[in-house]
A and B are shown apart, each in its own frame.
Chain A
Amino acid sequence: MTEALRLLVSLDPELWGIVLLSLGVSGTAVLLSALLGVPAGAALALWEVPGAAWVARFTYTLMGLPPILAGLVVFLVLSARGPLGHLQLLFTPTAMVLAQTLLVLPIVTGLTLAGVRSKDRAIRELALSLGATQWQAAWRVVLEARRAIGAALMAGFGRAIAEVGAVMLVGGNVRGHTRVMTTAILLETRQGNFEVAIGLGLVLLAVAFAVNAAFYRWQEGA
């Protein structure tokens, strides 16, 4: 543990690279999930599309998707004989982003759906009664659910930054290339370097805390 802290404080480039890659991969996965999942969740909540109930159930189910399964799917798609094998993305950070997006997207979609739905009726009718168009009213509902949507993004980030199975499988834990905090912890543990492993775990927690704190502050101000 002292070892990890020492590395961190001494600005060890390898450790910082690992931290930054973790943030980059998980952050990008959350960003992609936000771009796709927030509109999707809001749409599912606001419009009575045929089959929407089934899509919602499916989404909620996927919120519990095991990371290793998400990794496996992306692995098969990106592997040499897979449909996207020619892109040669396996064992790259891009593959890790894709796998984590698969994990985070259902969470963002599902929690956005639930958050928007809880605001839906009263706010929408109020907006309409004040002369809003359907679109303006829908947008207002989404705005009112902004805290719930923020919480959805944070939950997604928590899942992404903490998971090991998917990034291990599709990233391969290549030193200096695809090694992130969780896979580094796994490696150190297997090698018996428990002190370093625990130290890295604390670093992971500290990073998650910092991101959450920053986000919370931003949301309070919004």
Chain B
Amino acid sequence: MPAPAFRLEGLVKSYGGRRVLDLESLEVDAGSVWAIVGPSGAGKTTLLRLLNGLEKPDAGRIWFFGQELTAANGLPALEVRRRMTMVFQTPVLFTATVAENVAYGLRVRGVDQGSVARRVARALDLVGLAGTERRGARSLSAGEAQRVSLARALVVEPEVLLLDEPTANLDPANAAIIESLLRRASGEMGVTVVLVTHNLFQARRVADHTGFLLDGRLVETGPTREFFERPADPRTRAFIRGEMVF
């Protein structure tokens, strides 16, 4: 049994005295696609930031493929960080060309020039933006920008891809492209995906496991089909039916 991509235990995070996250435990199997759903302010983004090592928990521990992620001080070790990438809700692009954006992760890893160009072209092709290398990142539409962000995250062939509401600001067509890319990344590249979304339909379409986060606590987790068809917790039922008042 290989170590899970993530194992969380007793994870607590507070901001200004308010406890935004309080997770007893969670295991994300390698190669699975997880969706974390929940209303705004449930702690979804905070959870991703902890998984990515951008934030440190106040208490509790995170194991990443069996290795403790939380360093005593500062960021997790570079070799560990470099095994995962993240796509943010608002696509942040460097003020540079599309190619330079996508190449960034390869450049910081010291990949040689020739393979950079080749891999960038392939990644852009994957997200349906072949031939846009020389365009300025600022000239892209929101949908194109998010697809460039995804290409930039996938080009380094991460073991884990974290996504924070990647389609929240996109039209349905671009959202559909992103979703199918996530399935492909998981199916063809074996990437473990953790997707945070408030879009239940998206979770249903994309994820094979879903967890419901409410007020910083995981109310329920399970295989996606079970989660949606036979939710055990009344709060999950209410949320799925859209009856939950926030």
Report whether B94 and A131 are in contact in the complex, using a CB–CB cutoff of 8 Å. no
Report whether A123 and B81 are in contact in the complex, using a CB–CB cutoff of 8 Å. no
Given contacts A133-B108, A134-B75, contact A144 B95 (CB under 8 A): yes
The smallest beta-carbon distance between B88 and chain A, in angstroms, is: 7
Task: Give bound CA distance, A147 to B95, whole Å.
Answer: 10
Contacts of B88 in A (CB 8 A): 122, 125-126, 129
**Contact of B147 with A by CB under 8 A:** no
**Contact of B130 with A by CB under 8 A:** no
Q: How many residues of A contact B (CB 8 A)?
A: 18
The smallest beta-carbon distance between A62 and chain B, in angstroms, is: 30
Report whether A129 and B86 are in contact in the complex, using a CB–CB cutoff of 8 Å. yes
Contacts of A123 in B (CB 8 A): 92, 94
Report whether B81 and A128 are in contact in the complex, using a CB–CB cutoff of 8 Å. yes
Closest to B83 in A: A131
Instruction: Name B61-119 residues within 8 Å CB distance of A.
Output: 75, 78, 81-82, 85-86, 88, 92, 94-95, 104-105, 108-109
Instruction: Name A36-81 residues within 8 Å CB distance of B.
Output: none
Task: Give bound CA distance, A147 to B109, whole Å.
Answer: 26
Given contacts A122-B92, A123-B94, A144-B95, contact A128 B105 (CB under 8 A): no
The answer, among A128, A130, A140, A144, for a CB contact under 8 Å with B152, is: A130
**Contact of B206 with A by CB under 8 A:** no
At the interface, is chain B mostly helix, strand, loop or mixed? Answer: mixed
**Contact of A132 with B by CB under 8 A:** yes
The smallest beta-carbon distance between A218 and chain B, in angstroms, is: 16
Report whether A130 and B153 are in contact in the complex, using a CB–CB cutoff of 8 Å. yes
In the complex, how many residue pairs between chain A and chain B have their CB atoms under 8 Å apart?
49
The answer, among B75, B109, B156, B162, for a CB contact under 8 Å with A128, is: B75
The smallest beta-carbon distance between A100 and chain B, in angstroms, is: 31
Contacts of B75 in A (CB 8 A): 128, 134
24 interchain pairs (CB within 8 A)?
A125-B54, A126-B92, A128-B75, A129-B54, A129-B85, A129-B88, A130-B85, A130-B104, A130-B105, A130-B152, A130-B156, A131-B81, A131-B82, A131-B85, A131-B108, A131-B109, A131-B156, A132-B108, A133-B78, A134-B75, A140-B104, A143-B94, A144-B94, A146-B95
Known: A136-B108, A147-B95. 17 other contacts (CB 8 A): A122-B88, A123-B94, A127-B104, A128-B54, A129-B52, A129-B54, A129-B86, A129-B88, A130-B105, A130-B152, A131-B85, A131-B105, A131-B108, A131-B109, A133-B108, A140-B104, A144-B95
B interface list, Cβ under 8 A from A: 52, 54, 75, 78, 81-82, 85-86, 88, 92, 94-95, 104-105, 108-109, 152-153, 156, 162
